[in-house]
Chains A and B, each alone.
Chain A
């Protein structure tokens, strides 16, 4: 009993951390520009695929493959932002939804063409396989690795957000865009930068999380709903909110699938509806 509870907490935490790393960029860019970017899941998926290709085809070491995927995805996202997204800033959300859904469809088609419709596995190096003893229990090494990397990312994000000039600018722009512009912050450039960073984080989460989420071309749509829930429940542009929402979602989903697998994703959607009705603007609305 205790054993299974610990397992659920551990697996839920690993899942939650992947969710957080992927969703946090979406939360910040949506808070900043109010742009409903449904293609965010596609960036995560691309990160996974590109990392796998670097590692498999080019023989890049595992620890280098994921960062390379991040850089590639960041570049792709900046190109898309400059050419397509930019034209719909301040427009209505329906057009943004549809433009990005169109991009997702094209992305799925391209990924199916390049990598095939079946699940692609990330080859984990031998030192991350097996189990690790944490004193009171043994845990899967790779998932422990995911959690540790995520903690490092969270600390870096927190530092960047709260302690650097760039973070201060982003917070100012999320809070009050006009005022931020008035004091001389270049919102457009700031947005491009955060957009690239957010996409890179999504790619990182996508690459790290393939062991948990799998990697098929429909990934971009399948998990999109999860990322959106994190953003909506957590509140736009809030790191703390995204973190809390990821934790709840990750643990509830893991527990639901463990105890009542017949209900599938029933619980997280029920919880989402309740949370959104309780706090329509999310936990930490700005």
Chain B
């Protein structure tokens, strides 16, 4: 086996040509599928959400079943800002929602990251369900089971109205995704990102070489929380509605499945998994919800058994195999 050449992790400026592919696809999607831009915007939002999970799961190795807690916090923050406080400027709303989710992530993370394994899994799950029950109960603020209505968005930059076809929504989501992606890419390629990988691979050894494991994990968790909050806020703003299911256990599960299908620990996994999952869901659920559930279950089992690295891992293995055949 050929060893990959050592790359200076701090030098992250240039993008490889292959890295442009998803962006080209997303950009051309705008012109190719003008009737599906609402769905497209939601896919982009889930890509962002899955990428945020990748930060903690793929890089730091924190298995969380409660990532929806942060997504929902962002969604409700953005929604309540507009519906109750009258703050309907989208960009500042997005920033505020990200910050609020970041604070929630910091506080939750500070507590749960003392635990590992099943306990951590259960704590993340319990926090999400607790928040969902709280949102359900605080009907005055959240609309409870009926969802939060009355979210209105001012035009983006005061110019671009959010239209029925989702043109503005799509481009808005794409632009935010791109900006957050650049930040995430710089973070995971920094020395901080390297130390996260170290923690994932062998936590004890990282302790032994003097890495502040807990602090690094908490940092990663908070960053991921901000990203998830931004994704949630995008959903609230582009659909001008917040449903209670933004905080559900199912959403935490969905996003994890998307990430696994695409492949963890490479940021781009989210770009494969989220569209695959959502397009399959859109098509199969039309036939019957049982088909969809059975299909996604079988796909998940097959992925774990035969392609544990996800679609991207499969592609890499395939490429390595083709190369070996050539030489």
Are B294 and A98 neighbours in the complex by a CB distance under 8 Å? no
Offer 28 A-B interface pairs, CB within 8 angstroms, sorted by A: A36-B118, A36-B121, A84-B301, A87-B305, A95-B304, A95-B308, A97-B65, A97-B121, A99-B301, A99-B305, A101-B300, A102-B296, A102-B300, A106-B293, A107-B297, A109-B291, A228-B125, A232-B122, A236-B118, A263-B133, A263-B137, A264-B137, A265-B129, A269-B130, A273-B126, A276-B123, A276-B126, A281-B119
State the majority secondary structure of interface residues on A: helix
Given contacts A101-B253, A232-B119, A272-B126, 4 further A-B contacts (CB under 8 A): A102-B297, A225-B249, A265-B129, A276-B122
A89 CB to closest chain B CB (Å) equals 13
The winner among A221, A231, A263, A266 for most chain B CB atoms within 10 A is A266
Contact A98 B256 (CB under 8 A): yes
Q: Give per-residue flags for A247-271: 1 if the beta carbon is below 8 A from chain B beta carbons, else 0.
A: 0000000000000001111100110
Question: What A residues does B289 contact at CB under 8 A?
Answer: 112
Flag if A105 contacts B57 (CB, 8 Å): no
A140 within 8 A of B: no
Interface residues of A in 213-256 (CB under 8 A from B): 221, 225, 228-229, 231-232, 236
Q: Are B137 and A262 in contact (CB under 8 A)?
A: yes
| Chain A CB within 10 A, most for which of B256, B298, B304 | B304
Cβ B111 vs Cβ A277 within 8 A: yes
Q: Please measure, in the bound complex, the distance between the C-alpha atom of A115 and the C-alpha atom of B15, giving whole angstroms.
A: 53
B119, closest chain A residue (CB): A280
The answer to whether A102 and B119 touch across the interface, beta carbons within 8 angstroms, is no
> In the complex, what distance in Å separates the CA atom of A281 from the CA atom of B115?
9
Task: Please classify the interface of chain B as helix (H, G, I), strand (E, B), loop, or mixed, using the class held by over half of its residues.
Answer: helix
Q: Which of A88, A112, A266, A282 lies in contact with B304, CB distance below 8 A? A: A88
Query: Number of A-B pairs whose CB atoms are under 8 Å?
Result: 118
Q: Which 3 A-B pairs have the closest CB atoms?
A: A105-B297, A102-B300, A109-B294
Tell me whether B290 and A266 are in contact (CB under 8 A): no
Cβ proximity bits A87-127 to B, threshold 8 Å, 1 near / 0 not: 11000011101110111111111101100000000000000
Shortest CB-to-CB span from A216 to chain B, Å, is 13
Complex Cα gap A104–B290 (Å)? 12
| Bound CA span A158–B59, Å | 43
Asked if residues A231 and B125 are in contact (CB atoms below 8 Å), the reply is no
Known: A263-B137, A264-B133, A273-B126. A93 touches B63 (CB 8 A): yes
Cα distance A232–B305 in the bound complex, in angstroms: 27
Q: List residues of chain B with CB within 8 A of the CB of A273.
A: 123, 126-127, 130
Which A residues contact B (CB, under 8 angstroms)?
30, 36, 84, 87-88, 93-95, 97-99, 101-110, 112-113, 221, 225, 228-229, 231-232, 236, 262-266, 269-270, 272-273, 276-277, 280-282
Q: Which residues of B contact A (CB under 8 A)?
A: 57, 63, 65, 111, 114-115, 117-119, 121-123, 125-127, 129-130, 133-134, 136-137, 249-250, 253, 256-257, 260, 289-291, 293-294, 296-301, 303-305, 308
A262-B137, A276-B115 given; A225·B125 CB < 8 A: yes
Determine whether the beta carbon of A84 is less than 8 Å from that of B305: yes
Q: How far is the CA of A264 from the CA of B132 in the complex (A)?
A: 10
Residues of A within 8 A of B114 (CB): 280
Cross-chain contact of A97 among B63, B111, B123, B134 (Cβ < 8 A): B63
In the bound complex, residues from chain B placing their C-beta under 8 Å from that of A276 are 115, 119, 122-123, 126
Instruction: Tell me which residues across on chain A come within 8 A of B253, comparing CB atoms.
Output: 101
Residues of chain A with a CB closer than 8 A to B115's CB: 276, 280
- A249 and B33 CA atoms in complex are apart in Å by 50
A residues near B305, Cβ cutoff 8 Å: 84, 87, 99
| Residues A266 and B301 in contact, CB atoms below 8 Å apart | no
Instruction: Report whether B297 and A109 are in contact in the complex, using a CB–CB cutoff of 8 Å.
Output: yes
Set of chain A residues within 8 Å of B129, measured between Cβ atoms: 225, 265, 269
Instruction: List residues of chain A with CB within 8 A of the CB of B291.
Output: 109
Set of chain B residues within 8 Å of A225, measured between Cβ atoms: 125, 129, 249
Closest Cβ of chain B to A274, distance in Å, is 10
A277 to B260, CA, bound (A): 29
Chain A residue numbers with a CB within 8 Å of B130 are: 266, 269-270, 273
The answer to whether B137 touches A105 (Cβ under 8 A) is: no
Q: How far is the CA of A266 from the CA of B250 in the complex (A)?
A: 18
Instruction: Name which residue of chain A comes closest to B297, CB basis.
Output: A105
A187: min CB distance to chain B, Å: 20
Residues of A within 8 A of B257 (CB): 98, 101
Whether A109 contacts B119 in the complex (CB less than 8 A), given A95-B304, A277-B111, comes out as no
Across the interface, which residues of A come within 8 angstroms of B133, CB to CB?
A: 263-266, 269
For residue B270, give the distance in angstroms from its CB to the closest CB of chain A.
Answer: 16
Taking CB atoms, residues of chain B closer than 8 Å to A98 are 256-257, 260, 300, 303-304
B123 and A106 form a contact (CB under 8 A): no
User: How far does the alpha carbon of A236 sit from the alpha carbon of B121 in the complex, in Å?
Assistant: 14
In the complex, what residue of chain A is closest to B302 when comparing beta carbons?
A102
Question: Which residue of chain B is the closest to A270 with respect to CB atoms?
Answer: B130
Cα separation A101 to B261 with both chains bound (whole Å): 13
For A266, what are the chain B residues with a Cβ–Cβ distance below 8 Å? 130, 133-134, 137
